[in-house]
Chains A and B, each alone.
Chain A
Amino acid sequence: MQTQLGDSRSGKLNENLLGFGRALRRVGIPVDSLKISLSLQALQLIDIKEREDCRAALFSVIVGRYKDRQVFNDLFDLYFKDPNLENKLLGLMLPRNQEKPTHRKKNDRARESLQLFNTEQLNGPKNAQKIELDASMTLSDSDRLKNADFNTLSHIEYQLVENLARQIPIYFPKILSRRYQVSNVGSKLAFQKILQQASRLDGDPIQIFRQLRKKTSLPLLILVDISGSMERYARLLLSFLHASTKTHPQTEVFSFGTSLTHLSSSFKVRDTDKMLIAINQDIHDFAGGTKLGTCLKKLNKEYQHLCVGKRTVVLLITDALDTGPIDVLQTELQKLKSSTRSILWLNPLMRYEAFEPIASGPTTVSKVCSKMLAIHNLTSLEQLSEHLKTLLN
């Protein structure tokens, strides 16, 4: 029986399917052996001579994500024409590592910590003397750093502050979920528990157990401005938020400058330094202008599904010095507001005590946001957690 998939009597079908599965895996579609065996069964059920039926059958069994549809179709066309051709093409498409294997780079933070240790050992006594001299005249170093604006720091200070920022805890307030847990207080009776007890005591429920709604955290949507004026704040705040939202279940991150970039997958990297490197590779419009309006438009349109249920809290990190059309910004911000719980504007321009949103961009943003919070130095980051608590409860 000669078919498009080869001769089934001599077992070509199995081989072909295996090969196809491997090819799919290489382009990033998850295929496990269960799926391969299922697809083999599926192909035996349908008319294998019908190419489109085969395609539909394999798609239905193997693919589980909408976004994989195009890739699957392309690869199906390629593979079931001439498997060798596909291999060659794939070989051309795949990035090849030309370099010789080198020793794995040590973790950056580990190296830094080693460096710090070495320099401390070398310069230890000198530094100690210096501090002694300074102490009589000025604030201590850590106090100065705490209140220094991120933008005014030298390179080394910036690194230090970044590390300090990572240690600041932030408590996101929790809301009541729709799920219940047994407790001694609460408005609902926990029948199962009461019954368990009553059945042991001749049907007399002595203690009344109740149910209380469990607490759950709100989904977070972080929008970070990466335009020229925000460059330094963006990096620092990203590492701060990364460290503080590690245990937070739903966090989505986007950067915006001239275009919108979805950073959530890079943000999931556990190590903060590696996360920053990954994000660097994702973003292509670093230190450009700001087109908040058009970026929000894209967000509202393509990522609408992230703000389901009006529970999301948006952290908008920007100075709102927008260069795009203001009416677009206004409508898109309103849209975002209507689909989320609250928008908090984290504004580094609040470093100026007399800051007032006067320019058209900041005015528009401040009208929509529930609160404007300062984030220009470590002290303000420490206060952030308190603000969140009062604002969201």
Chain B
Amino acid sequence: MIQWLDILSSKVFNSVDEVIVALKNEGYFADRALATSVFLALKLKRPLLLEGEPGVGKTELSKALARALERVLLRLQCYDGLDQREAMYEWNYTAQLLHVKVAQGGDQDDVLKEIYQRRYLISRPLLQAIECSKPGAVLLIDEIDRADEPFEAYLLEYLAEYQITIPELGTIQAQTTPITILTSNRTRELNDAIKRRCLYHWLDYPSRKRELEILQVMLPNAPEKLTAQIALFVSRLRESSVREQFTRAPGIAESIEWAKALIAMDTLVIDPEIVHDTAGILFKQRDDISSLNAQLVTDLLTPELI
């Protein structure tokens, strides 16, 4: 009976379309290929590795997925030097020392056994994800390419078996498989051992239509004409011929920020002057801003011939 209740309460997707709809309800517009990857990751119980340019919605996906599945989102932000103590678990040394002190005079073996109990273990995101009670957690391992290579090795056991082995305590196995999403900006290639254990998806910039939808959902108050113009302008910036002039094309995050700024400035129609004034939102490099000259902006802003 209890099992039945569990199944009823935890959300399960039965098809790719259900994933698309559920994510859409949470304000995330996934294309079919991405939804298929997510669906398979859920069904096959495999971690999903998302790669793509910055600002295409890698992190947002896990947030939306956690909301859609009504699960807790646990986030592990990677950085150079990140180690097991911050990612998996750490012993509470001070408490352990106190315990040893209190138990002074007792049997040494007993003391040793006592201090390596679960209550002296501080869990960090990976262990938290494993120990999370039903319906389980969504674990986001963000920007894994920023961590150094030795760190990847720590992850292998977790990614393959959803378990963590603590030498003093034993192996802790996940009760419910945590949904694991890894993101990478591809500042370096990840080890094959990691890739083998994950499903892979390359997140590209969205199509103009999809971007327009996103803008409309994120900014319901924005005039329709303005959002259409923003979507057109940004998608043209990302076209290969134009993109070559910049070190990095603006992502969705940037176009949303830009749209917010334009609305705050009560803009109704974008003109070259406004683009010039607000270029710092789209591009974060001085060279890129200077490449965005008046002629190019005028070309990019010309409306489409229908």
User: Is residue B253 within 8 Å, beta carbon to beta carbon, of the partner chain?
Assistant: no
Pair B37/A60 contact, Cβ less than 8 Å: yes
Q: Which residues of A contact B41 (CB under 8 A)?
A: 60
User: Is residue B33 within 8 Å, beta carbon to beta carbon, of the partner chain?
Assistant: yes
Inter-chain CB contacts under 8 Å: number: 115
User: Is residue B276 within 8 Å, beta carbon to beta carbon, of the partner chain?
Assistant: no
Known contacts: A53-B36, A195-B115. The answer to whether A200 contacts B16 by CB under 8 A is no
CB within 8 A of A30: which of B96, B189, B192, B200? Answer: B192
CB within 8 A of A195: which of B97, B198, B199, B247? Answer: B97
Pair A179/B97 contact, Cβ less than 8 Å: no
Residues 123-163 of B contacting A (Cβ, < 8 Å)? 148, 150
Contact segment of B1-9, B100-108, B172-180, B220-228 = B100-108
Residues 191-225 of B contacting A (Cβ, < 8 Å)? 192, 195-196, 198-202
User: Is residue A10 within 8 Å, beta carbon to beta carbon, of the partner chain?
Assistant: no
- A57-93 Cβ-contact flags toward B at 8 Å (1 or 0): 1011101111001000000000000000000000000
Pair A57/B36 contact, Cβ less than 8 Å: yes
User: Is residue B234 within 8 Å, beta carbon to beta carbon, of the partner chain?
Assistant: no
CB within 8 A of B15: which of A47, A57, A66, A200? Answer: A47
Q: For the complex, give the distance between the alpha carbons of A35 and B199 in Å.
A: 10
CB within 8 A of B200: which of A46, A52, A59? Answer: A59
* Smallest CB gap from B108: residue in A: A200
Q: Which residues of B contact A301 (CB under 8 A)?
A: 247
User: Is residue B238 within 8 Å, beta carbon to beta carbon, of the partner chain?
Assistant: no
* Closest Cβ–Cβ distance, residue A20 to chain B (whole Å): 17
Pair B100/A64 contact, Cβ less than 8 Å: no
Known contacts: A53-B36, A56-B36. The answer to whether A199 contacts B44 by CB under 8 A is no
Interface size, chain B (Cβ < 8 Å): 48
CB within 8 A of A52: which of B33, B43, B81, B115? Answer: B33
Interface size, chain A (Cβ < 8 Å): 42
Q: For the complex, give the distance between the alpha carbons of A358 and B36 in Å.
A: 61
Q: For the complex, give the distance between the alpha carbons of A202 and B32 in Å.
A: 62
Which A residues are within 8 Å of any B CB, using their own CB? 30, 32, 34-35, 38, 41-42, 45-47, 52-53, 55-57, 59-61, 63-66, 69, 177-179, 191-192, 194-195, 198-200, 202-203, 205, 301, 304-306, 308-309
Other than A59-B33, A191-B93, A194-B97, give 18 A-B pairs with Cβ distance below 8 A: A38-B44, A45-B39, A45-B44, A47-B16, A60-B33, A63-B200, A66-B186, A179-B83, A192-B93, A194-B93, A198-B97, A199-B112, A199-B115, A200-B112, A202-B104, A203-B97, A301-B247, A304-B247
Which 8 A-B pairs have CB atoms at the shortest separation, nearest pair first? A178-B81, A203-B100, A64-B195, A56-B33, A191-B93, A56-B36, A60-B37, A203-B101
